[in-house]
Amino acid sequence: MGFRETLSPKPTISDQDVAKGLHNITWEGVTAMGLFSITTSGFLAAYALLLGCSNFQIGVLAAIPFLTQPVQLFIIPLVERIRRRKAIALLSWIPAQSAWIFIALIPLFLDIPSSNAAVMLLGIMAIRGVFVSVTNCAWNSWIRDLVPQQVLGSFFARRQMWTNLAAMAFGLLAAFFVSYWEGRAPGNEALGYTIILLFGAVFLGLASPLFMSRIPEPLMQPAPAVKPSLFSTIASPLRDANYRHLVWFLFLWGLALNMSIPFFAVYMLVRLGLPLPWVIGFSILSQAFNILFLRIWGPLADRFGLKAILSVSVSLYLLVVLGWAFTTMPDRHLLTIPLLVGLHIFAGIAAAGASFTTATIGLKLAPQGEATAYLAVASLGASLGAGLGPLAGGYLGDFFSTRQVSLVFTWIDPARSIELPTFDLIGFDFLFLITFVLGFFTLNVLRSLREEGEASREIVVDALLAPMQDAVRPMSSVPGLTFLSQFPYGILRRVPVPGLDVALGVTAYQLAEIARAATVAAVRGQRRVTKIARALEQALIGVGTTQDIETHSIEVGRQTARGAMHAKEAVGLDVDRLAHSAVLGIARTFGHARLDPGDALRGAGYGIVQGAGETGVDYVKAAVKAVEAARKVAEQAGLSEEQAAAYVAQGALDAAAAMGAEALAQVEDSLPEDVLLPESVGQQR
């Protein structure tokens, strides 16, 4: 096939063409993101500082890709006229990726650090931004017509998972190489950056257009007989009240978030004094959890709608930004590193949901045949906000660098005086607080957006952290964030701080996923109850301290049993074995640790019935098998058979009650008559 044919739209797109296109879209993203990982975040910030950029210039550097997006307004007529989106995207993407070669060579031709080197970096980035804007305008409309609507959320979530894996691998390579180079060539650190950038530009940057060329392009919808003017084309999406809410949200969210994100790396490098490998390592940690949760957010988006996932992700992201203000008080403290670990974990989880939903919700809400204009306006709104954000952040960061607010607790007695800092804001801390407040108001704008088939954010949180009884207390399995576990769940959901309820949901979901993975791994090769139970026991020991497990025993038992039941879909085990394994593993954990197993077994009964209901298994049979298993493992838990059966039955009835009156009646009738239950559970038997 010749070059001209490669760039030509196809009059008909078969299912095979679509499958081929989706495959190459994924690989295009993998190679592009591989380069992106070593040309952004901590790496680019460190390189810019080395060239002589100030904080404000770093803000400009972060803003350029977004401020050049209005170029799309002038590309829309070109796309509508030529109607060859693939040709436009490909011929602009090649020079955009090649620009990194010239950026890499700056230290070889100019003195560093110097203002000339900084200006050269900004100038090349500006030219590249123009080419990227041309690519995006054609690419968005092209992909909108190619990817089937029914798999939009899950496909882009899966694509982002693979691209993040590439980003982790190449980001880690870049970090280790720079660290190695600095040790071997002190005083000539810039050459290490040059080598890495050249490698990325040649082997990754130019591979991306290659995969792009293999993606088929459907024919655009027929052009209207009377072509509207540029103004009317842009005005059409803004006359759509619902789409206008989306554009306004994207603008405010881009503004709020990008006031802080570009400066996280600078903050760690300069304020906290962390070496670059540490900064890149934190970024990789964030990307790892991003990947873990992409496979969760994607199906949830197809099930509950993009808006609901976007809402919970944005609120969690705001909690992360607020947490950065407490990493210094006013200097590094004992909890700085653990707090950074927790913040990057939750940032990865939040970014997994926010990034692919903001990228795809505009695709979903754009009318068929008008995608080019609608997506260009949405991109314009997001880009203007994201472009103004770093500029405002750089200015405010410099402004507040000489200002400080401190609250100090002072104790004075005749012998001495003691001063303890309780709250301290300086420099970028103000920026993080401003971002949080602005983002809080941005959530109100999102609420006004309407999406067909949408669900409330509360339903999504409940899907992560299923309904609990008043006696159930929340837990956190993330080291350094156990303070979250001290809040009762019901009260916490009413606290007007965005993200706290989502943080609880995702940490509980992690425990269930750990249990599911342990169960799947244990049955490979040998399906034995004791082997699964041992795997669950080891998984429980690894997720937290003994005190954590004891304090939150009901929730630990519930999520562990729930995750084990979800493994049935992967390994095909019967309910009897899974229920027995879950109860045995939990009983062993609490027995060996000499902890009270009662609440944990109650949680196990709840999780077995809940997990059975979620996976389509007969939850009545699951409840019966769970009680039978409790009798068999009672001795290992240090309980009588009657006590163990009563605890598990109590949890099973709690879960059934949460499922409805009919489910409660069915489970209650199925339990053996000799099981003793407290009066507070179900109806009296």
Tell me the CATH number at 302. 1.20.1250.20
Domain final position from 381, 400, 419? 400
Residues 484, 566 share a domain:
yes
Distance CA 639, CA 110 (A): 76
Looking at the structure, tell me whether residues 155 and 38 fall in a common domain. Answer: yes
Residue 114 · residue 221 · CB < 8 Å: no
Distance CA 654, CA 678 (A): 12
Query: At which residue do the structure tokens 């040709």 appear?
Result: 87
Domain of 629 in residue numbering reads as 467-670
Q: Are 202 and 65 members of one domain?
A: yes
> CB of 121 within 8 A of CB of 61?
yes
What's this model's pTM, rounded to 2 decimal places?
Answer: 0.58
Long-range contacts of 113-118 (CB under 8 A, 24+ apart): 113/49, 113/50, 113/51, 113/52, 114/51, 114/52, 115/52, 117/51, 117/52, 118/48, 118/51, 118/52, 118/53, 118/54, 118/57
Q: Is residue 410 part of a domain?
A: no
Whether 140 and 272 map to the same domain: the answer is: yes
The residue assigned the tokens 């970014």 is 351
Q: Are residues 363 and 495 in the same domain?
A: no
Inside any domain, residue 420 = no
Beta bridge partners of 419: 410
393 and 489 part of one domain:
no
The answer to whether residue 152 sits within a structural domain is: yes
| Mean pLDDT, each 10-residue run in order, the chain (685 residues) | 68 82 90 84 80 85 82 78 86 91 91 89 92 86 80 75 82 80 76 88 88 86 60 72 86 88 83 82 81 75 78 85 84 85 88 80 74 75 84 84 77 76 76 87 82 65 47 34 36 47 52 53 48 54 50 69 68 67 74 68 84 80 85 79 86 84 85 65 38
Across-strand partners of 424? 406
**Are 541 and 652 members of one domain?**
yes
Is residue 431, in this structure, part of any structural domain at all? Answer: no
- Note whether residue 596 is domain-resident: yes
Distance CA 271, CA 291 (A): 29
375 shares its domain with 471: no
Position 436 in a domain: no
Is 54 buried (19+), middle (13-18) or exposed (0-12) by CB count in 10 A? middle
On whether residue 447 sits in a domain, the answer given is no
Residue 340's pLDDT is 92
Residues 357 and 472 in one domain: no
Q: Is the CB of residue 629 less than 8 Å from the CB of residue 601? A: no
Give the residues across from 425 on adjacent strands.
405
Instruction: Say if residue 64 is in the same domain as residue 186.
Output: yes
What's the rounded Cα separation, in Å, for the pair 653 and 669? 11
d(CA 101, CA 204): 12
Q: Are residues 213 and 317 in the same domain?
A: yes
Q: Which residues of 363-397 are buried (b: 16+ CB within 10 A; e: fewer)?
A: bbbbeeeebbbbbbbbbbbbbbbbbbbbbbbbebb
Last residue of a domain, one of 400, 418, 445: 400
Q: What is the pLDDT of residue 121?
A: 92
Of the residues 378, 400, 422, which one is the last residue of a structural domain? 400
Claim to verify: residue 378 and residue 504 sit in the same structural domain: no
Residue for token pair 């960061």:
397
The count of domains in the chain is: 2
Q: Is residue 430 part of a domain?
A: no
